[in-house]
Amino acid sequence: MVDLATLEQAALTALQACTDEPALRAWNTRFFGKHGEVLQALKGVGAVPPDQRKSYGQEANRLKEDLLARYENALAEVRARTLEQSLQTDRLDITLPGRPAPRGRLHLSNQTLRQIYAIFADMGFQIYRSREIEDDLTNFELLNMPPHHPARDMWDTFYTTTPGVILRTHTSPGQIHVMRELFPRPIRVILPGMCYRYEQITARSEIMFHQVEGLVIGEKITMADLKGTITAFARRLFGPERQIRIRSSYFPFTEPSIEVDVDWPKDDPISGDISKGTGWLEIMGAGMVHPVVLRHGGYDPAKYSGFAFGMGPERIAMRKYGIDDIRQFWKNDLRFLSQF
């Protein structure tokens, strides 16, 4: 007959000595395994004299329940402690600052285009997208520039291997597309987009650049509407401190034709190359739509008239932000681009 009190004391002492999970498991095997001391004590109940059997059995069961409960507690405690420890030591320091992702932004040309869109939207203009790959017919002939017209020299361009298919030299051919699509409705649109020219690259001209074309057609459109629209636009874009100059010019597709300059005072250190010492930078051509062009678009010049303009957003941005070289726009130099 096992002495239960001695057994209990031994089990408790051994349990207290366990400091980790493997030790606890070993304890469990020692007392509750197949040949465990407690189980053996329980099995031994048959050998106990009958008069003590009941109290022995009860005591052995109590002891078993009690020890198992203590064991579970100790196991839970050890596990909690281990978890706590690993939380302390294996801690992931999420307070470390991350590597900043480089922030992008809109290219200065796009920013400028959007400013221009917003102003014309307020004046009731819609945006019309025309094609960048044009045919010679629409880029030149329908705009009143027959083959061998001397004005074509101003717009030499990139030809493709398909005869008559070129990269557009200006956004003006879009006028033909709009008119043919919208006839006979009145028109008030801007046509933004990229243009291409085969020309000498300098501080003020590039082989690719944006233009924003404008076209207004109706029954009583006059030069006064053109001047009013352009002046209102320039005021809003540049603010009242910039001056605008309108002077007469020549384009085959307008009659009369004008050009619009923005002042670039001669005492400004970067004015030299850009304004060629004149104190002005040309930012757009414009005029009253030539009757031949109206007719090519389907509008009868006896009934309709209209004005058109074509401006250079990169030139406008140069004036607005004091940029001294148009080549900066497509260099992809972050030191330049991230300033805006």
**Which residue type does 39 have?**
L
Q: Examine residue 313 and tell whether it contacts ligand DAH (CB under 6 A).
A: no
**What tokens were used for 292?**
């031949």
In the chain, where does DSSP find H-type helix?
Answer: 4-17, 21-32, 37-43, 50-89, 108-122, 136-139, 173-182, 223-238, 271-275, 291-297, 313-321, 334-337
Q: Examine residue 192 and tell whether it contacts ligand DAH (CB under 6 A).
A: no
CB of 297 or CB of 310, closer to ligand DAH? 310
From 193, 310, 319, 320, residue interacting with ligand DAH (rule: CB under 6 A): 310
Question: Residue 132 CB, nearest distance to ligand DAH (Å)?
Answer: 14
Going by DSSP bridges, is the β-strand pair 165-167/133-135 parallel, antiparallel, or unpaired? antiparallel
Taking the C-alpha atoms of residue 242 and residue 225, their distance in angstroms, rounded to an integer, is 21
CB of 68 or CB of 123, closer to ligand DAH? 123
**What tokens were used for 75?**
């196991």
Question: Residue 207 CB, nearest distance to ligand DAH (Å)?
Answer: 13
Q: Examine residue 252 and tell whether it contacts ligand DAH (CB under 6 A).
A: no
DSSP at 97: P
Angle at 233 between CA 300 and CA 134, to 5 degrees: 50
Write the Ramachandran bin of 298: left for phi over 0, alpha for psi from -120 to 50, otherwise beta: left
From 286, 293, 318, 326, residue interacting with ligand DAH (rule: CB under 6 A): 286
Question: Residue 339 CB, nearest distance to ligand DAH (Å)?
Answer: 28
From 237, 294, 308, 316, residue interacting with ligand DAH (rule: CB under 6 A): 308
Q: How many CB atoms lie within 10 A of CB 102?
A: 7
Q: Contact 7/63 with Cβ under 8 angstroms?
A: yes
From 64, 152, 168, 170, residue interacting with ligand DAH (rule: CB under 6 A): 170
CB of 59 or CB of 255, closer to ligand DAH? 255
Q: Examine residue 142 and tell whether it contacts ligand DAH (CB under 6 A).
A: no
From 254, 271, 275, 328, residue interacting with ligand DAH (rule: CB under 6 A): 254
Cβ contacts of residue 165 below 8 Å, gap of 6+? 133, 134, 135, 136, 159
CB of 153 or CB of 241, closer to ligand DAH? 153
CB of 67 or CB of 318, closer to ligand DAH? 318
Binding mask 197-216 for ligand DAH (x = CB under 6 A): ----------------x---
Interface residues toward ligand DAH, by CB under 6 A: 170, 172, 213, 251, 254, 257, 285-287, 308-310
